[in-house]
Chains A and B, each alone.
Chain A
């Protein structure tokens, strides 16, 4: 690319700036420090003061990022906050320590910026002089030589410490260097570090215990939610089963009713059919009876007229008799034809056999009455005769009923519970 050169120069400059930031990160320009929370300035702290602190609380939102910048805008310290936890950062500056602490909760966060300064050279000298003065006060009560020796030694020690302190003070004003501490200060620092370590361990333990409690709470909440879900599903299943049972009972009743109704309907249709057959047979019989009566009347009339004619005309006796006989024959033929026409209709009746009757015996019985077997229906065999049986019909049926293996005989197909015996 054509613009690689200026970009690379800028990149090199930026890299050098970042490296110098690492080198000078312990340096503090001026005393003022600005605290930025989520890139917004929330307060200022006078870094020249010892043991100063600043607390800021965000309501309604958590803290994501915290920065501490020097007066000229240089980044001194900072940290990225956790979602819902405490996080600490410690920045060591010349002669002081910067503690940054962020706590985030559900919908708020707080940040605490505190400066803890170490003992200054002047304060150390003051402390030593006080000790020396205390030693001198004890002098009159004891050995004077020993007291003078002690006082002299302490004064010499104080002078040495003063010189050392002045040297260090001048050195610290010339260029910022890490503070060097003596053995006693080192011991005090170590003790303080130990205390801090213990406090940190206690805090950590507290945090862990809270975390455990939180985990247990979450677990119990999850269990409760699962139990609620189970209860809800059981209630659903129970109500569904009750509905099913109710619907199932209704269905059974409906089914039985429907079966009974259909059976009753079928029986009614069968009755209607048989009634229709009986009506037709009755009409046929009535016609035959009427015809027979007419022919009978006619015959009586002819017989009467024939008796009158016999006395009048002897010669025509033979012809009249022959004609009468012929007419009688014709009528008889007609009657026979009419009777044979009605007797040509097939006759069906129903037979129920005793249990265990073999098909051979059934067929044999049906052959004996010259009938043919139909399809069995509920234990009733339809037997069809090509022509009605000779009179009387009741006698014919009675003879069939008394046949071996026959349980019942019926003119109509009825249910076994109510056979027409």
Chain B
């Protein structure tokens, strides 16, 4: 892009130590990002997934960023090396793997990009994982504890660093994935004006994204039947499975809400209720219940 001229001067540079590698990467970061972005664009063009619009441009930059992020950490063991050539081989190798890149045209729209940002981060971060209950259904910590059937101690452990997400994590994810403040404002405005349409669209996009990102944990990928879910809560096992699977599977979440309607006290069947911004601090509730299995949870 803009640093193509400078990039040519960096191509043949050899770094001999980790210190040199760090210095070089900091100095040549724009060129490295542009190179990874250009390779991503080429991959999208060659696979017929490219269009000249801001959504696709942001998508390419985002994937270029992810490539460079991995490169910075993983290429360290390759020193001595030529970083630019190594980056190219790194990116090419990544895209040559089967199903290397998840691309969907909805990812280039603000709503799709927003949901993709939330779910892609939830794969990596437990804070983001727990936050999905709020962003998708408007659940607070108490509701989540009831839904998952966990006691107060476990709830505190799960939500231990949730403050970090609320303060900076969510904002950083939005910035890192290219969801601008204007996009967020527009989403909120649409949500206020046409809530049904937005929620319906969210439901549609969410099913595709959830199936993709749930693959990142094969052990917790499969869905359970109603009888299996009932058994799981009755006999109180599979805590990690429920904590992971339910935020990534809308259908199972609806099923579990139906099973646990007595604890949750929902008026209707669980439906998507998009909350664009994170829960404000004052509305977070602590959990008092002590027993597991969701039998004795109380709000304070």
CB of B238 to closest CB in A, whole Å: 15
Interfacial chain A residues near B274, Cβ < 8 Å: none
Contact mask for chain B residues 104-123; partner A; CB cutoff 8 A; 1 contact, 0 none: 00000000000000000101
Q: Which of B9-17, B50-58, B139-147, B251-259 contacts A (4 or more CB under 8 A)?
A: B50-58
Contact mask for chain B residues 124-138; partner A; CB cutoff 8 A; 1 contact, 0 none: 111110000000000
Check B54 against A15 for contact (C-beta < 8 Å): no
Check B26 against A80 for contact (C-beta < 8 Å): no
Check A75 against B25 for contact (C-beta < 8 Å): no
Q: Does A14 touch B at the CB level, under 8 Å?
A: yes
Instruction: Point out the residue from B72, B94, B216 that lies within 8 Å of A18, measured CB to CB.
Output: B72
Residue in chain B with minimal CB distance to A34: B124
Contact mask for chain A residues 14-38; partner B; CB cutoff 8 A; 1 contact, 0 none: 1101110110010001101010100
Docked Cα-Cα span, A78 to B94, in Å, equals 14
Interfacial chain A residues near B57, Cβ < 8 Å: 3, 7
Q: Does A73 touch B at the CB level, under 8 Å?
A: yes
Interfacial chain A residues near B94, Cβ < 8 Å: 65
Check A18 against B65 for contact (C-beta < 8 Å): yes
Size of A's binding interface in residues, CB under 8 A = 39
Check B70 against A75 for contact (C-beta < 8 Å): yes
Interfacial chain B residues near A88, Cβ < 8 Å: 77
CB of A79 to closest CB in B, whole Å: 5
Q: Does B278 touch A at the CB level, under 8 Å?
A: no
Docked Cα-Cα span, A13 to B64, in Å, equals 13
Q: Does A77 touch B at the CB level, under 8 Å?
A: yes
Check A40 against B216 for contact (C-beta < 8 Å): yes
Check B175 against A73 for contact (C-beta < 8 Å): no
Check A75 against B65 for contact (C-beta < 8 Å): no
Interfacial chain B residues near A3, Cβ < 8 Å: 53-54, 57
Docked Cα-Cα span, A18 to B165, in Å, equals 19
CB of B1 to closest CB in A, whole Å: 8
Contact mask for chain B residues 1-38; partner A; CB cutoff 8 A; 1 contact, 0 none: 00000000000000000000010011001100100010
Q: Does B269 touch A at the CB level, under 8 Å?
A: no
CB of A20 to closest CB in B, whole Å: 10
Check A41 against B217 for contact (C-beta < 8 Å): yes
Q: Does B73 touch A at the CB level, under 8 Å?
A: yes
Check B77 against A30 for contact (C-beta < 8 Å): no
Q: Besides the contacts A14-B61, A17-B176, A29-B161, what 5 more A-B pairs have beta carbons closer than 8 Å?
A: A7-B57, A14-B62, A17-B65, A18-B33, A78-B74
**B residues whose Cβ falls under 8 Å from a Cβ of A:** 22, 25-26, 29-30, 33, 37, 53-54, 57-58, 61-62, 64-65, 68-70, 72-74, 76-77, 90, 93-94, 97, 121, 123-128, 160-161, 164-165, 169, 172, 175-176, 178, 180, 215-218
25 pairs of residues in contact across A and B, judged by CB atoms under 8 Å: A6-B180, A7-B61, A10-B178, A14-B61, A14-B64, A17-B175, A18-B29, A21-B73, A22-B25, A30-B160, A32-B126, A39-B216, A40-B218, A41-B123, A65-B70, A67-B74, A71-B125, A71-B126, A75-B70, A76-B73, A78-B70, A78-B73, A78-B74, A87-B77, A89-B74
6 nearest A-B pairs in the assembled complex, by CB-CB distance: A73-B124, A73-B125, A3-B54, A14-B65, A41-B217, A78-B74
